[in-house]
Structure 1
Amino acid sequence: MPRLKPLKSACLASSALALLTAALPAHAAPAGYDKIDNIVVIYAENRSFDNLYGGFPGANGLANASADEVTQLDRDGKPLSELPPSWGGLTAKGVTPAVTEAQSAHLANAVFAIDDAKGFNQGLNVITRDLWHRFYQEQMQINGGKNDKFVAWADSGGLVMGHYDGSSLPMWKVAQKYVLADNFFQGAFGGSFINHFALVCACTPFYPDADKSPVKDMIASVEPDGVTLKVADNSPVSALAGGPKFVKDGAISPDFYAVNTMQPPYQPSNNKPAEGGDPAFADPKAATTLPPQHDITIGDLLSLKGISWAWYAGAWQTALDGKNATPVPNFQFHHQPFNYFAAYAPGTPARAEHLKDGGLEGAAFIKDIDDGKLPAVTFYKPQGNLNEHGGYADVSSGDQHLADVIAHLEKSPQWAHMLVVVTYDENGGFWDHVAPPKADRWGPGNRIPAIIVSPFAKMGTVDHSQYDTTSILRFVTTRYDLPVLQGLVARDNALRANSLPVMGDLTAALDLTH
């Protein structure tokens, strides 16, 4: 996902944007695409496909995993004799009754059901501890496509191999009714931060002159292969002895790309304003504050074409008002990607028009659904306690919220010409048996669930087409005849170079002929 030449002003003037996009190729929409008038993207958190949908009938799930794909290797490349404990315990802090580290030990080197009544019996309503889901570690876990070092390069021990029986989830029923995509991958290696950028611009954020900035001590120490973190001398040799340690596991790559979580330069941000500074900004001298970004986003392209769009963030206004709290609503600052871009800085018309409050528990978003007032392209991010992220959210609460939103969309005045994509930003550190296709430096990463919901869906089917997060951008681009973001071109060129098919645009899940 390469970078375009950045704009120098804080506001993307349409004339300047037009010049920047003039060299980008455009797509003419094929027949049938115009049947879709509203595209709704719902972005949940941190679940691999096998973690929730590994038992879905007709899908490439756990029953299809070979012994080689399941068996996890230790750091020396030899099979582990057993899974290590879940370091620090299986459940999140404060969960009662807790599953301790000792109780999680001595599992066979295999997958296991977290909710097995004869095992840990931790249901979908129980919050587990968080797992590493970071840029370099994920590539080390994938191990060149073998997916056999998830345990070796995790901080959570054997928990990475855990999964659930998702058949009781409301969204499982939605997937049965519409289309479940079982070959859909997260757009980038790593966590939520970089994958939100993959969703809105197919680009990777950049920190200019990072080595001369407050972030200089957060530049990762990486081996010459560009993929592997340098292991510290005091790192445990075996995963059975503890989580790995690295020389420097930073947020910034050696060539200054921001690959792990950084904070937005504008409020709401986890970094407070500078003393005496603009209260709408985050302190630029804080090491974790990312400078404003200038890449072209899908929002910019839609605006240039006069297409309406918005990002609805659950609890956005609550966070702006300084009333965010844990565990509710637990707004996550790095889950609003447009808040990193200069074009949407505080005070800009674009911010006021496109960065909308989803309300507490999505109430404001749902009202616009019910009133038939959704823009042509809509993104919705649930608030923290409803996003399914391990460590601070359970699965069932978020899943029920997703199903409730779908129920409102199905009754919306705009439903007859709508496409809804429900997916997850990344795998959250959980193992999956399907190796991602080898493409460019940034991804794609691990396989994640995706459900395509529409009156035009090929009802009751499993779509095996190759997709990733950027497939959403591909459909938006083609539907509205937009210039093609450079990251999409680079991804497909990399796939072709590896003799692999290019990413689909979701239309294999649709019947646009009727």
Structure 2
Amino acid sequence: MQRRIITVASGTLACASLAVLSSCFSNSNDPAAPTTYTVSGVAASGSPLVGAVVVLTDSKGATVQSASTDASGHYSLTTRGTAPFVLTTSFNDVDGTPALLSAVLVPTSSAATASVTANLNPLTSLVTQRVLGLVPSAAPTATQIATAAVTKASITAAIQSVTTALQPAYTALNVPAASVADPIGSAYQASATDPVDNLFTLARFNVHAGQVAVGTGSARVVVSIPATGATSTPVSTVAAASLAALGAGPTTTAIQNVIVVIGENQTFDAVFGAYQAPASQAVKNLLSQGIINADGTPGPNFALAVQNQGVAQSTYTINPTRGAAYATLPQPELIGVLNSQLQAQGGVPDPRVPATLPDGPFQNTTYAAYALSANNPLGNLTGDPVHRFFQMWQQTGGNNAKLDMFTWVATTTGQGGDTSGVTPANPSQGGELMGFANMSTGDAPYFKSLATQYAISDNYHQSIMGGTGANFFAMATADVAYFNTAGAVATPPANQIENPDPMASTANFYSQDGYSGGSYVNCSDAAQPGVGSILSFLGSAGVKPNCDAGKYYLVNNYGLGYDMNGNAQPIGANNYTLPPQTVPTIAEALAAKGVSWKWYTGGREAADVTADAAAFGVPVAVAQGAQYNTIGDPLVASSKVMGSASLKAGLAGLTTLYSDIAAGTLPAVSFVVPKNLDSGHPGYSVPAKYELFLQGLIAKVQANPTLWAHTAIIITTDEGGGHFDTGAIQPVDFFGDGPRIPMIVVSPLARTNYIDHTYHDHASVLKFIERNWRVAPLSSRSRDNLPNPTSTSADPYLPSNRTAAIGDLMSMFAL
């Protein structure tokens, strides 16, 4: 008996001592330990999803998140959950709608660890939606997964139904059968060389709608692949042949001509602040936020835009200490307004506007009528707000979260003391920047007409904080110009380096800033004046500044290194001229690809201004000087363009533009800059003049039906001109982004009466051109390398990527 007790005790002790290593008391019916799965793959939709988070949901509703996807869209995560697994990640669908990519799998393994592949792309998403019987708007619940009764067989059946509908498209583009037999688990890359990704580029997959558009023109068909029910009949032979022709052609869409028109100095709210969205759509502007009423008077949420005064600063900061609000808005001034002799006025009050306006946005067309008249060909001009780099950073705080510093910064700094007529005693700025046109009462009728017929964006931004020169340069390069000597990085004259630290005994008047002085900044050095505050903000947001060591970047307006004929201009302390640049341009990239292009600038040709000279009674040379936008012709800054006869030949005027349109010889890519007096720039132009210019240009294109059928006219401004705007800003790097500006796509291929919320800036125009003509990004540091944004329905405006992201305009088209 005792021996038996000792035996049992010994066994019990042995079992207890081994319990940490094994389940000593378990029986043969206990389940095996769950397998640890490493799940990895690529998330993409014609381009990689970068900075996205993939969420795995297991059958019990437990979730695991991946780290951010890398530059290739690759992710990886580990789970010990119970299959089946559903993976989801946010993306912007083909129409810009925030949606989810998804994948579903039922791995089986008896091993302790196993690795499985799960790609997430439009094809896997259509499959997953059919497996689940729903279009997920979030990670699915355990109930939704259980209800779907997911099995390997149900996944195979869903793949087969999708394949049946799309097989002719697969065949047309030579997509290997193995790639689509298991799109979730097969090898896949987000690259133009991958046949499946090429399919996503050429066919238009609308995941949340369960539709795929194949082909172009009359051959285009839309195949329905819903989450439940039968799919459409397979892609037709005609549509498949059209898709194959598109794949073999020069463009990835039916768009064969792009005309980019760039006016000047208007924010989105300044023009579209009272625009009313179509039914079932939304717009973010002054009216929709209740800041104004439809009649232009202060609305119930006017306080959102009330302007505060700042407290006197000792060093530059983008987040000034706030003081009290203004009792009334400072009276608008006439800074920059041309008189009848075409001479600009200084900073004096605008007698048309009362000094007792409420402290916030006001309808400026109440005092300066919007419409043009025969006896006032220039229009009812208004003052020109300050629009410079450090001022705009300080006005917006980098993200435009507070909206309250626009006026105080403008009225305390002006255009800087290095600008003639601007002094600490009179910075020559008032409340003119808070003015807006009122579409609800009839202002901007042509812009409104275009918006209702075609597509607009309420989330398109100027690329660079500040003014014209840097933003036109960004439109041509997706980059920033810098000081150099014969192409080598150099330090500019000391008087040309920005110092936004306030002068002694002033509230905020910058020490060295202005059009005849401080305009360069070395943002790689945090000790440089003004730089530290911006770098600190970017660091807290996890944003890389993109500042090369030792470079002094030009962030405000200077003349260009050549004149329009290619003659080098002097560089020196008293020459406010940018040295010739070697920054890669869109002109060089298109030429290298064999894609035709021209940059048409109003006033470049004498014939452009002959009528103007007669109207104003001045010589043609004088009219040309007044009308030609020198810094709006940014390729003149490039030594490679101006040093190449073939590239230089792409620089032309409006006379040539109109001739090319009429003759049907317009190049594939055109940039068009109006004459100064037609640009919409405050002081010497008005938005109504820009409307008139656009109306004439669009009519000329439409008069050539063959050209119009495959043309996209992209309309914007260079920058917001310092006007107030309520849109949130994404910090992309040290240089911007800046406030929202108008963006309209006019084309028979544009969406109709549509408002796009995808985050865009000037690099988006280049990304669109590059994607359509299969052109690589311009350089390793240019913004056209940035990924496309993902967003959520909770916030469709700011990208949810864990990295800076810029759209490519494709969501504004119904291709």
TM-score tier (shorter): 0.7 to 0.9
Residue 318 of structure 1: CA displacement? 2.7
- CA offsets, 1:95-116, max 9 Å, x none? 99x9944654222112100112
- The residue number in structure 2 matching 1:287 is 575
Unpaired segments ≥5 residues, structure 1: 1-24, 222-228, 238-243, 270-278
Once residues 171 and 489 of structure 1 are traced to their aligned partners in structure 2, the CA distance between those partners, rounded to angstroms, is 28
1:245 matches 2:485: no
1:268 matches 2:561: no
1:330 matches 2:627: yes
- The residue number in structure 2 matching 1:179 is 455
Contact 2:498-2:520 at 8 Å conserved across structures: yes
Secondary structure at the aligned position of 1:440 is classed as coil
Change (3 A) 1:63 1:287: same
Once residues 52 and 434 of structure 1 are traced to their aligned partners in structure 2, the CA distance between those partners, rounded to angstroms, is 13
Once residues 470 and 400 of structure 1 are traced to their aligned partners in structure 2, the CA distance between those partners, rounded to angstroms, is 27
- The residue number in structure 1 matching 2:174 is none
Once residues 701 and 256 of structure 2 are traced to their aligned partners in structure 1, the CA distance between those partners, rounded to angstroms, is 13
Letter matched to residue 512 of structure 2: K
Letter matched to residue 174 of structure 1: L
- The residue number in structure 2 matching 1:149 is 405
1:159 matches 2:432: yes
Contact 1:324-1:331 at 8 Å conserved across structures: no
Residue 121 of structure 1: CA displacement? 3.9
Secondary structure at the aligned position of 1:462 is classed as strand
Secondary structure at the aligned position of 1:115 is classed as helix
Contact 2:331-2:350 at 8 Å conserved across structures: yes
Once residues 320 and 367 of structure 1 are traced to their aligned partners in structure 2, the CA distance between those partners, rounded to angstroms, is 12
1:487 matches 2:782: yes
Once residues 504 and 90 of structure 1 are traced to their aligned partners in structure 2, the CA distance between those partners, rounded to angstroms, is 35
Letter matched to residue 149 of structure 1: M
Comparing 36-45 with 255-264, greater Cα deviation is found at: 255-264
1:231 matches 2:502: yes
Residue 457 of structure 1: CA displacement? 0.9
Provide the TM-score with structure 2 as the length reference: 0.52
Comparing 194-203 with 212-221, greater Cα deviation is found at: 212-221
Change (3 A) 1:312 1:181: same
- The residue number in structure 1 matching 2:262 is 43
Residue 179 of structure 1: CA displacement? 0.7
- The residue number in structure 1 matching 2:647 is 350
Q: 1:123 aligns with which of 355, 360, 370?
A: 370
Residue 298 of structure 1: CA displacement? 1.3
Letter matched to residue 31 of structure 1: L
- The residue number in structure 1 matching 2:494 is 216
1:112 matches 2:404: no
- The residue number in structure 2 matching 1:341 is 638
Contact 2:258-2:711 at 8 Å conserved across structures: yes
Once residues 181 and 493 of structure 1 are traced to their aligned partners in structure 2, the CA distance between those partners, rounded to angstroms, is 16
Secondary structure at the aligned position of 1:175 is classed as helix
Contact 2:731-2:804 at 8 Å conserved across structures: no
1:385 matches 2:677: yes
- CA offsets, 1:14-39, max 9 Å, x none? xxxxxxxxxxx985761053311111
Matches within 5 A, 1:402-441: 402-412=694-704, 413-441=706-734
Q: 1:257 aligns with which of 542, 545, 553?
A: 553
Contact 2:603-2:624 at 8 Å conserved across structures: no
Change (3 A) 1:26 1:130: farther
Change (3 A) 1:90 1:312: closer
Q: 2:307 aligns with which of 52, 72, 94?
A: 72
Once residues 90 and 310 of structure 1 are traced to their aligned partners in structure 2, the CA distance between those partners, rounded to angstroms, is 31
Task: Give the structure with the higher percent strand.
Answer: 2
- CA offsets, 1:110-162, max 9 Å, x none? 2100112xxx2443531112111111111111024223211011132211110
Q: 2:659 aligns with which of 364, 367, 373?
A: 367
1:471 matches 2:764: yes
Contact 2:788-2:808 at 8 Å conserved across structures: no
Secondary structure at the aligned position of 1:283 is classed as coil
- The residue number in structure 1 matching 2:464 is 188
Once residues 421 and 252 of structure 1 are traced to their aligned partners in structure 2, the CA distance between those partners, rounded to angstroms, is 31
Contact 1:47-1:424 at 8 Å conserved across structures: yes
- The higher relative CO (CA closer than 8 Å, separation ≥ 6) is in 1
- The residue number in structure 2 matching 1:83 is 329
Residue 314 of structure 1: CA displacement? 1.1
Once residues 479 and 761 of structure 2 are traced to their aligned partners in structure 1, the CA distance between those partners, rounded to angstroms, is 14
Aligned-residue CA RMSD (Å): 3.0
Q: 2:476 aligns with which of 177, 180, 200?
A: 200
Secondary structure at the aligned position of 1:390 is classed as coil
Once residues 607 and 700 of structure 2 are traced to their aligned partners in structure 1, the CA distance between those partners, rounded to angstroms, is 25
Residue 320 of structure 1: CA displacement? 11
Once residues 351 and 358 of structure 1 are traced to their aligned partners in structure 2, the CA distance between those partners, rounded to angstroms, is 16
Contact 1:280-1:346 at 8 Å conserved across structures: no
Comparing 245-254 with 81-90, greater Cα deviation is found at: 81-90
Change (3 A) 1:318 1:147: farther
Unpaired segments ≥5 residues, structure 2: 1-189, 204-251, 278-282, 290-300, 312-321, 372-378, 415-428, 523-550, 610-618, 790-797
Letter matched to residue 511 of structure 2: V
Residue 489 of structure 1: CA displacement? 5.4
Identity level (%): 27
